[in-house]
Amino acid sequence: MWTPETIRNDFPILDQTVNGRQLIYLDNAATTQMPAPVLEAMTSYMLHDHSNVHRGIHALSERATGLMEKSREYVYSFLGAKGTEEIIFTSGATAAINLVARSMSFGLLEAGDEIITTEMEHHANLIPWQEACRRTGAVLHVVPVTKEGELDYGKLEALISRRTKLVAVTAVSNVTGTVNELDRIIRLAHDAGAWVLVDGSQAVRHGMLDMSAMDCDFFCFSGHKMMGPTGTGVLYGKREVLEQLPPETFGGGMVDQVFTDHATYGDLPFRLEAGTPNIMGIIGLGAAVKYLTDLGRDEIVNTEDRLLSLAEKELRARPQIDILGSPVKRAGCISFNIKGCHCYDTAKLLDQLGVAMRSGHHCAEPLLTAFGETGAVRLSPAFYNTEDEILEAMKALDRVIRLIERTVRK
Ligand code: PMP
């Protein structure tokens, strides 16, 4: 059995000083670090197998294709999908959501249709729907968030109707860490005949993954938030739903036959994957899935929940700190502000003390606005963080608080 202390050996990047202090990396909701097996899988591919996939019959191309398709198999069983054709590789969650939104606006949406999203979404799960509605004349509804940082389920129920074509919702907020009641949302949407797209970006490390149990129509995430490389991501879709999506990007790799005046398109998943994919990245993503699977989902979730609870308890013990939201269930991250201190100043001062935390609106401006804020500092642990690191980060925060108090008093 591993512990955060032992697992750190897999993450050489963590062993460095920043501004003369041992790095404490607590920005995992933005990007997680890659373990040695992921780096090794990508390096080995680049050294021995680098080639283009699906097009050549020479040895390198066949090896590259085999490695990439092995990654698809890892992802398919990681997600509990019904088949590898339900796994579309993209460059990230943003690309996956844009794929669905753009595709739906090529004939699946029309004036009078409705899309529902929420006030707590990352911009990546809001703007593509704004644009799809603008192009098609469909109407976008946005479910508000309560002051606790929960979705207003009453409002959601009132908004869903036979006109609703799709509900786009995050599994976990990337600001408050609110865990949404996906079962309830999916049931409501399906009763009305609507599809559900779940943005799983902040949930992939948190065990909310079983597609057969969740029954959503689409699920997406980025590789770089689950120990994989940047520039990789996944769009899962139920086969019967993906089959209804017209391709929205055209070119090599996605066709069946091509004539000068028209083309016919290939089968899933390739029909939705035009162009040369990020082969090295996808191989790294597969290695990350394998790594997480080997560590054990429950162990990862328990470790991260324990670290987050400790952080929340410590933050709550400091009267100078305002925490954004108090959801019933929180996962992955918690955001806060020191009273009277801009979040950028807090994060910059923490950085001087070796502590990496994100600050700003976290690409969720409507949610920050709902809280009456323009920004916040976000603490997001991963399973390689230790309790000592959380406590050290709190000591650093105390130094910042003392500095602010001295400055204000002057
Ligand atoms: N959705 C959520 C909830 C996120 O946290 C993020 C990344 N911050 C994204 C979408 C977008 O991910 P990417 O930039 O990797 O496409």
pTM higher than the cut 0.85: yes
Atom of ligand 1 nearest to the CA of 93: 16
Please tell me the distance from the alpha carbon of residue 179 to that of residue 199, in angstroms, as a whole number. Answer: 12
Please tell me the distance from the alpha carbon of residue 223 to that of residue 204, in angstroms, as a whole number. Answer: 9
Task: Report the separation in Å between the CA atom of 224 and the middle of ligand 1, taken as the mean of its atom positions.
Answer: 9
What confidence tens digit (pLDDT) does each residue in 324-367 have? 999 999 999 999 999 999 999 999 999 999 999 999 999 999 99
Known active-site residue 341 = no
User: Is 332 near ligand 1, meaning CB less than 6 Å away?
Assistant: no
Domain ranges of the chain: 8-31+297-409, 38-294
Instruction: Report the pLDDT value the prediction gives residue 410, as an integer from 0 to 100.
Output: 62
What is the average pLDDT across 188-209?
92
Instruction: Report the pLDDT value the prediction gives residue 335, as an integer from 0 to 100.
Output: 98
User: Is 94 near ligand 1, meaning CB less than 6 Å away?
Assistant: yes
What confidence tens digit (pLDDT) does each residue in 66-114 have? 999 999 999 999 999 999 999 999 999 999 999 999 999 999 999 999 9
Task: Report the separation in Å between the CA atom of 172 and the middle of ligand 1, taken as the mean of its atom positions.
Answer: 11
- Marked catalytic residue, from 216, 220, 341, 363: 363
pLDDT above 90 covers what percent of the chain? 95
Per-residue burial over 355-379, b if 16 or more Cβ lie within 10 Å, else e, is: bbbbbbbbbbebbbebbebebbbbb
Task: Report the separation in Å between the CA atom of 264 and the middle of ligand 1, taken as the mean of its atom positions.
Answer: 33
Instruction: Report the pLDDT value the prediction gives residue 351, as an integer from 0 to 100.
Output: 98
Q: Which CATH architecture has domain 8-31+297-409?
A: Alpha-Beta Complex (3.90)
pLDDT band at 409; cut points 50, 70, 90: low
User: Is 91 near ligand 1, meaning CB less than 6 Å away?
Assistant: no
Task: Report the separation in Å between the CA atom of 202 and the middle of ligand 1, taken as the mean of its atom positions.
Answer: 8
Please tell me the distance from the alpha carbon of residue 218 to that of residue 200, in angstroms, as a whole number. Answer: 10
Greater model confidence, 207 or 223: 223
Per-residue burial over 275-288, b if 16 or more Cβ lie within 10 Å, else e, is: eebbbbbbbbbbbb
Q: Which CATH number fits domain 38-294: 3.40.50.300, 3.40.640.10, 3.30.420.40, 3.60.20.10?
A: 3.40.640.10
Instruction: Report the pLDDT value the prediction gives residue 74, as an integer from 0 to 100.
Output: 96
Give backbone dihedrals phi and psi of 230, rounded to 5 degrees, phi first. Answer: -65, 160
Mutational test site, ligand 1, from 172, 219, 225, 333, max ligand atoms within 8 Å of CB: 225
